[in-house]
Structure formats: C-alpha cells, structure tokens
Amino acid sequence: MTGLGTPIQGVTLYSFTRAFHSRQYDLDGLIRKVAAEGFGPGLEIIGFSSLRGFPDRIDDSFVGRFRDLVSEVELLPTSLAVNVDTGIRRDRLMNHDELVEYMRKQIEVASRLGFPIARVQISLTPDAMESLLPVAEKYGVTLALEVHAHQHGAHELILALRDRFDKLGSPLLGFTADWGATVSGFAPSLLEAYRRRGASEELLQQVVAMWNGFYAEGPPTTEKAHGERFGAFIGLAARNGRPDLGIDFAINGTGLFGPAPH
C-alpha cells in the first residue's frame, strides 16, 4: 500500500498512440496490455485521444465499465490529461467564460472516471487557473499544469502561475513536469528520422550545434527569447536548402527537447 506522496511507477496511454490509432488495440485491450506487461500500476489517459465522445458523451455505463476494468487489472487511475483548445472556433478565440466551461466538462469526467488529477496545459493563464479552482473544489480533482518545453521552472509565465498559486494557497493547484523540458542533447533517434527524410549530415551537424549552443546559454526565460530561437532553426533550414524542415526543426529544437537544467 502506498501512502500520500509516495511515488509509484505508471504509464501514459499516449506512449501507445500509434498502436491505438492503427487499431492494434481497443481501449480495453490496451489497458489490459499495460497491466499484463507490468507498466503500471499508475495509469494516465489522454481524454480526447482515448475516449470516444469525450467529454460530452461519456455516459454512466462507460464510466462503470472503465472503473470495473481498472479495478480488475489492479491499475490506479492517476491522471486524465485534458486539453485547452482556445482556438477551437474558426472565427475567434474562446472567451474566458467559454474556456472555463470547456475545462469544467473535462474535469467533471476526470472525477467520474476516478482520476484524482487532471493534467492541464501551459496555455492556461493565472486568471484562468484561479477561475478553475472552484471547479477543482467541486469535483475534488487536482489541476496539475504541465511544465512543457519551451517553458521551465524559471520561465516568466511559470513564475506568474507559481505566484498566483501561492496567493490562492490551495492544494488543488500545482504543476507536473514534462521531462522533455530538461534534456541534455538532441535525440539520436530524431536525427535518424531526419536522415530518412533526406537531411544531409552537414545540416544535421548544424542543427545539433545550434541546439548545443542554446543549451550552453540556458533556457529562454521570456516568450520573446523563445521566438528568436524558434526563428533561428527555421533560418538554418532555409539557408541549407531545406525550408520544408524548418518548422519541424524549430518545434523539436525548442518545444520537445528543451534545454532547461535538470
């Protein structure tokens, strides 16, 4: 039996996205696979990725089957990842009240399915998180904001959220780390993927050198600094005759492989 604050091993079904979307497994089969392979006991699910009709069409019958299955295979629901899709409309961004309601429905499903944590995304502002606190209290769900590269513990937006959390003083508001924000090198497997797409060794050496330079400088502490680095990768690709890879280099070089210290 684990106590409060005791770490446990777990897995996110996001790790099996390709297998799931290629229909090698349905949701029940994938949960059973996780249990059989010993990847648990902790279980995270991405709401919009794994749950058909999420969040509006999750009925009581599905909730009962899900909770029974998780109990049967002795997994522990740890986190339901929810989306902050502020740009879901074509004509405008969501306003504040629309965003709160959009999040409320997802947080409610997290509670019904037995997840104690809803992992929320970095696009939520301090004001939005404060408005969601009554929702978290109503459903008894902790809102753990994912610190995802290019952001990190000393980034201006994370510091603003930390200050607001300190002011509110609620145990239901916190952070969860995406360790991709604290890597120490550009992934060799990603470089190999670029080779298969025809990137030259010279170009890849320059990409790695640029990333290493940013790592030596330390992570960006402002959105402006991040934008400059993003643009630098795009420019590098264009100068080497591969503008088609520019956005890809920039996303991976600043957003998936972040140079924050461990």
DSSP one-letter string for 12-28: EGGGGHHHHHTTS--HH
Q: Write the single-letter amino acid at 250.
A: A
Element (H, E) at 145: strand 142-147
| Catalytic residue of the set 148, 152, 155, 226 | 148
Active site residue 148: yes
Strand order in the sheet with 76-81: 10-12, 42-46, 76-81, 117-120, 142-147, 173-177
- Would you mind telling me the total number of residues written for the chain in this entry? 262
Among 63, 109, 57, 43, which Cα is nearest to 82's?
A: 109
| C-alpha–C-alpha distance, residues 111 and 137, integer Å | 11
Catalytic residue positions, numbered: 148
